[in-house]
Amino acid sequence: MSSRLGTVVVTGAAGRIGAEVCRHLRDEVRHLVLVDRVPLDPRSSTDRVVQLDLADLDAVVAALEGADAVVHLAGHPDEAPLADLLESNVLGTYHVLEAARRQRVGRVVLASSNRVTGFYPVGQVVAPDAPARPDGFYGVSKVAVEALGRLYADKFGLSVVCLRIGSFEDEPTEARYLATWLSPRDGIGFIRAAITAPEVHFVTAYAVSANTRAFWDTAAGAQLGYLPVDDAESHADRVPGSEAPIDAAAFQGGAYTTAEYSLRHVVASPPPS
């Protein structure tokens, strides 16, 4: 390779995290393939832009030709009707993994979410191998994403890393983020490590900053070769509610665990005629 990272495909390149990943990795790759449904402009001679819908498997296969790694960030980012999440998050991930299999891609990094375990209590430190307790339909879709990644690793020999991404923000803005914050610097660090870690069969890791109040086990992230450096506590004095007592029995998913958060996305059956 002429570059340490070779050719890297980033799906969802126009998104919040995708744009940040592309900006930071651009100088470390031989080629950067920016994949999204919306039009994008190349930012350097290393960029190649591919506009496609992940529902089109043949187009995804073509986009991954010659790739050394794919960072799959595309998908619906929050609660939605389950049918939409299955199409966007689950089917889209299946197409990325199948394309990676056909093109013999060396590493697949999948964007999972901390919300696959949102129903664990705040007082419990949760490791990636704990049973899933999703806090909504979005969390369910990410459980399926991880299961697909595991299947393609075990059955087809793909090297897969699932990153359970925390609250990716410039700085924490609410009390829950004091535990779940993922700074942009640490986010890029985890993704770079997920691309480059040697001898990976399948790994699931929480991607979260080194927050004093964190309630996730980050040992798997350390195994990938990255130790986070930022701590949400340094911003606590500017976060509303940061001094409130911590309820150890409260759910880690916070407001995402409420029935109302999901029920507004349940498609009502038509009344009987």
Catalytic positions, written as ranges: 138
Tell me if residue 7 falls in helix, strand or coil: strand
Give 196-222 as a DSSP string: H-SS-SEEEEEE----TT--B--HHHH
Backbone CA torsion sign across 150, 88, 104, 40 = negative
Beta carbons within 8 Å of 260's beta carbon, 6+ residues apart: none
d(CA 109, CA 263): 31
d(CA 181, CA 18): 17
Buried b (16+ CB within 10 A) or exposed e, 181-206: bbbbebbbbbbbbbbbbeebebbbbb
